[in-house]
Amino acid sequence: MIRVNDVIDKISDYHPGADLGIIERAYIYSARVHEGQVRLSGEPYLTHPLEVAGILADMKLDVISVVAGFLHDVIEDTHAVPEDIEKLFGPEVRHIVSGVTKLSSLTFHSSRARQAESLRKMFLAMADDIRVILIKLADRLHNMRTLQFHKANKRKTIAKETLDIYAPIAARLGIYWIKNELEETSFKFLQPDEYNRIQTLVAKSRTEREKYMQTVKDYIQKKMDEAHLTCEILGRNKNYFSIYNKMISQNLPFGEIYDIIAFRIVLDSISQCYEALGLIHSMWKPIDHKFKDYVARPKPNMYQSLHTTVVGPFGERIEIQIRTRDMDRVAKSGIAAHWSYKEGKRIDENISEKFAWIQDLVENQENFRDPGEFLENVRIDLFQDEVYVFTPRGEIKTLPYGATTVDFAYMIHTEVGNQCTGAKVNGQLVPLAYELKTGDIVEITIAKNHHPSKDWLKYVKTVKARSKIRYWIKTQEKERSISLGREMLEKAFRKEKLSFNAMLKTEQMANVGTHFGFKAVDDLVANVGYGKITPLQVVRKIAPKKEPQADPESIFNKLVGRVVRKKRLKDGVLVKGVDDILIRFGKCCQPVPGDSIIGYITRGYGVTVHRTNCVNALRLTPERQIEVEWNQEASETYPVKIQIVSHDRVGLLADVVGNISKFGANILNASSETRDNKMVDSYFTIGVEDTTHLERILSAVRKVKLVQDVKRIG
Ligand code: MN
Taking the C-alpha atoms of residue 446 and residue 450, their distance in angstroms, rounded to an integer, is 7
Lowest average pLDDT, out of 29-43, 150-164, 550-564, 650-664, goes to 550-564
pLDDT in tens, 339-384: 555 443 444 444 334 444 444 443 443 343 333 333 333 333 344 5
Tell me the backbone φ, ψ of residue 383, rounded to 5 degrees.
-90, 25
Q: Residues 459-473: pLDDT tens digits?
A: 998 888 988 898 888
Label residue 332 exposed, middle or buried (CB < 10 Å: 0-12, 13-18, 19+): middle
| pLDDT value for 347 | 42
- Predicted local distance difference test score (pLDDT) of residue 568: 37
Q: Kindly indicate the confidence band of residue 669, based on its pLDDT and cuts at 50, 70 and 90.
A: confident
Quote the DSSP letter at residue 78: S
78 CA from centroid of ligand 1 (Å): 12
For residue 100, the CA-to-ligand 1 centroid distance in Å is 9
Residue 714, pLDDT > 50, answer yes
| Distance in Å, CA 348 to ligand 1 centroid | 28
Average pLDDT, the chain: 80
- Predicted pLDDT of residue 362: 37
Give the C-alpha separation, 62 to 645, whole Å: 66
Query: What is the band of 88 on the pLDDT scale with cuts at 50, 70, 90?
Result: very high
Q: How far apart are CA 540 and CA 547, in angstroms?
A: 11
- Asked whether the beta carbons of 336 and 169 are under 8 A apart, the reply is no
Contact 377, 171 (CB under 8 A): no
Is residue 423 classed as helix, strand or coil in its secondary structure? strand
> How far apart are the CA of 106 and the centre of ligand 1, in A?
14
| CB atoms inside a 10 Å sphere around CB 692 | 12
| CA 139 / ligand 1 centre spacing (Å) | 5
Task: Report the percent of the chain where pLDDT is more than 70.
Answer: 82
Q: How far is Cα 427 from Cα 407, in angstroms, rounded to an integer?
A: 18
Give me ligand 1 centre to Cα 673, in Å: 71
Q: Is the C-alpha dihedral spanning 531, 535, 536, 537 positive or negative? A: positive
Q: Is 76 a catalytic residue?
A: yes
CA angle 511, 515, 520 (to 5 degrees): 60
Cα 279 off chain centre by? 47
Q: Quote the pLDDT of residue 643.
A: 92
d(CA 29, ligand 1 centre) in Å? 16
Among 3-12, 219-228, 570-579, the minimum mean pLDDT is found in 570-579
Which of 43, 58, 77, 84 is an active site residue? Answer: 77
CA gap 238, 246 in Å, rounded: 11
- What pLDDT does 378 receive? 39
8 Å CB contact between 388 and 439: yes
433: closest CA among 406, 451, 452? 406
**Rounded to whole angstroms, how far apart are CA atoms 525 and 483?**
8
| Predicted local confidence at residue 553, as pLDDT | 46
Whole-angstrom distance, CA of residue 400 vs CA of residue 408 = 10
User: Which pLDDT value is given to residue 381?
Assistant: 36
Active site residue 440: no
Is residue 608's pLDDT more than 70? yes
Ligand 1 centroid distance, CA of 409 (Å) = 35
Residue 138 Cα to ligand 1 midpoint, Å, equals 9
How large is the average pLDDT for residues 661-672?
84
Measured CA to CA, the distance from residue 560 to residue 667 in angstroms comes to 7
Of 290, 337, 340, 298, which Cα lies nearest the Cα of 318? Answer: 290
Task: Give me ligand 1 centre to Cα 48, in Å.
Answer: 7
Give me ligand 1 centre to Cα 141, in Å.
10
Which one is predicted more confidently, 392 or 548? 392
- d(CA 64, ligand 1 centre) in Å: 17
Q: How many CB atoms sit inside 10 A of residue 331's CB? A: 23
Q: Is the confidence at residue 274, as pLDDT, over 50?
A: yes
Is residue 71 within 8 Å of residue 89, measured between CB atoms? yes
Distance 337 CA to ligand 1 centre (A): 23
Q: Note the pLDDT of residue 380.
A: 36
Please name the amino acid found at residue 390: F
pLDDT reported for residue 436: 92
Q: Cα(345) to centroid of ligand 1, in Å? A: 28
pLDDT tens-digit readout, 19-62: 889 999 999 999 999 988 988 888 899 999 999 999 999 888 88
Which pLDDT belongs to residue 159? 92
3-state secondary structure of 229: coil
Angle of helix 507-515 relative to helix 521-530, nearest 10 degrees? 60
Longest Cα pair distance anywhere in the chain, in angstroms?
118
Q: pLDDT digit string (tens) for 195-235? A: 998 888 888 888 888 898 999 999 999 999 999 999 999 99
Give CA–CA dist 361/300, Å, rounded.
6
Q: How confident is the model at residue 182 (pLDDT cuts 50, 70, 90)?
A: very high
Of residues 19, 35, 76, 360, which has the active-site annotation? 76
Q: How far is CA 697 from CA 5, 36, 662, in A?
A: 91, 88, 8
DSSP 156-222: HHHHHHIIIIIHHHHHHTT-HHHHHHHHHHHHHHH-HHHHHHHHHHHHHTHHHHHHHHHHHHHHHHH
Q: How far apart are CA 608 and CA 613, in angstroms?
A: 14
Ligand 1: distance of its center to the CA of 478 in Å? 60
Using DSSP, state whether 506 is helix, strand or coil. coil
| Single-letter residue type at 279 | L
